[in-house]
Each structure stands twice: as structure tokens, then as C-alpha cells.
Amino acid sequence: MYNNPRRRKLVPQQIVVQTTERLWLESFVKYLAGECHLADNTVEAYHRDMKHFWEWRDDRMIAHLTISDLADYVDWLHKRNLAPATLARHIVTLRLFYRYLQLEGILQTNPAELLGSQKLWERIPCVLSPKQVDRLLTAPWVGDPYWQRDRALLEFLYATGCRASELAHLTMHDVHIDEKYCLCTGKGNKQRLVHLGKRAIDAFREWVADEHQGRDRLIDKYGESNYVFLTYRGKRMRRERIWDLVKKYAGRAGISSDISPHTMRHSFATHMLAAGADLRQVQEMLGHASIATTQIYTHIDMSRLKQVHEKYHPRG
């Protein structure tokens, strides 16, 4: 904890200030959801970031914090061994919060704008090799409970580049097997069409039709449900469960347990570009609003080419 354990007692005026500042936070969260139209998961992440900020600042008034204070906060976050991407998001959250206070006329200046750029904390995401992906996709074994569901789930993650939350909300109406595509709903309720390959389609059909543990069997047992991926109780699978399954099968496949559903998304994009796909096409399939977000995958592929050149070229 950053806070002094012998915290001084607040005077009534400080209590009033802290109550007011707490209202600022509540209004900020509503602003993110209502006016910025951010996805629920994004709003929740920003809200968690602000709780860290509240923990760090103790009883200091937000209006009195300087750029030096905020730099101390970033250093405090850094000492908590956060991933670079997570640290970058904390900085973005703080900037948004101070910008909101400016828009509301609460503050005249925004010291958070002077914090280091997010690019300083950017890292190239983890990407699996094609052989690692093959091992992961075949990790669910015949005889595992609902192994057809798990294999279809992994195939869909890699075939579509979907986020875990997008896959969790995928419905049967979104999957068009005959036309070989599915409709993904991403951040801000933006929809996009993504092609489905033969392996993903075959895995989907096996999951839906299996007589003993397939999706249709669960529907017969528990009633109507429109979601593609269900729990053994016939309910929609939550994204946290998807994370757990990816980690489970990654361990079985001998792959680092640090991977997540987003690793499959990164691998999807990188392998597409490495095979010659156009950057704009990959942007559309991932649902990125800006091509600048997609360009990080070209850096990954270039680093791979550099390694190949250094290893095999006579003057590498």
C-alpha cells in the first residue's frame, strides 16, 4: 500500500471535498458509457484503473495534484509489476478523467496530458507459431467433457480473430455455415463479417450435432438458448470461462500459461499478414477503427523476417 498506515483524521471540509470528488468519479463512469459509447468491458476496465488512482492519492485533493504528483503515481503503478499495455491504459484512463473534468469546467488545466506517451509503454503482443496453434486447437481430447464445444471454441477464436467477449455473445443467427461466414459484434456494437474456414465449420457442426454432449442435446435438456457456446447448464458461456479454457488447453499443449484468447487474435492477424493479406482487410476483420492499431502486427512480422535474415543470410 502506498498510503500511510497512520492516516490522519479528516476534517469536515476534507470530507466534503472527498464526497464531491467521489461524485466526479461516478459521473465520469456514466460519461464513458453514455456519451463516449464505450463497450461495457472497456468502461469496467477504466473504472478499475480509477480505483487504483483513488487508492494511491489517499486524501490529497485532485485539483491540487501536479504533473510531478502524477509522475509519482505512474512510478507507483510501475512498481506493481503491471504489464506495459496495462500501464499504458492506466495513463490513458487518467488523461480521460482529467479531460472530463476540464469539459465540465471543474478544472482549468490538465496535468495528465504531460504524462509520457502511450507509445513509450507499447509492446509487441505475444503471438503463437502455426505449429503451436495446431497443438492448441487439437488439445481437447475425445472423452473430455464437452470436448467438441471446446474444440469449436478454439477454432472460432483462431478462424475469426474474435475477442473473448464477442465469442461469448455469438448467437446461432450470427453463424452462416452455408455461406461460410459469421457476424461478429464488437466494441460500440459495431458489426463485421468474418470468413469461416473448413476446420472451424466442421468443428461447429460436430459441437451442434453431437448426440451425447452437443449443443442440441443441451437445448433439449434445458430449453431454448440462442447462444452458440453454452455451459453444461445450457447457459451462455462467460468470457472469463473462455479465458480459463484457453489457459487449460495451452498448458496441455505445452504452451506458456500466459497466453489468453487475445493471443489467438494476435496470432490470427499476424499469420494473415505473413501469408500476404492486405493490411486494410485485416483491419476490417479485426474490427479496428484505426489502421494504426492494426499496424503493430506488421512490426511483429518484420521482426520475424529480421530473425530469419540474420539466421540464414551469409552476411546477416
Catalytic residue list: 163, 187, 262, 265, 288, 297
Cell of 258: 500466459
In contact, 195 and 129? CB cutoff 8 Å: no
Q: Interior CA angle at 193 toward 187 and 199, to 5°?
A: 115
Q: How far is CA 267 from the centre of its chain?
A: 14
How far apart are the C-alpha atoms of 70 and 98, rounded to whole Å?
Answer: 11
**Residue 85 to residue 223: CA distance in whole angstroms:** 42
Three-state DSSP state, 184: strand
Side-chain half-sphere of 72: how many Cα atoms within 13 Å?
Answer: 8
Do 111 and 102 contact (CB within 8 A), yes or no? no
Nearest to 6 by CA among 58, 76, 75, 84: 58
CB–CB of 115/107 below 8 Å?
no
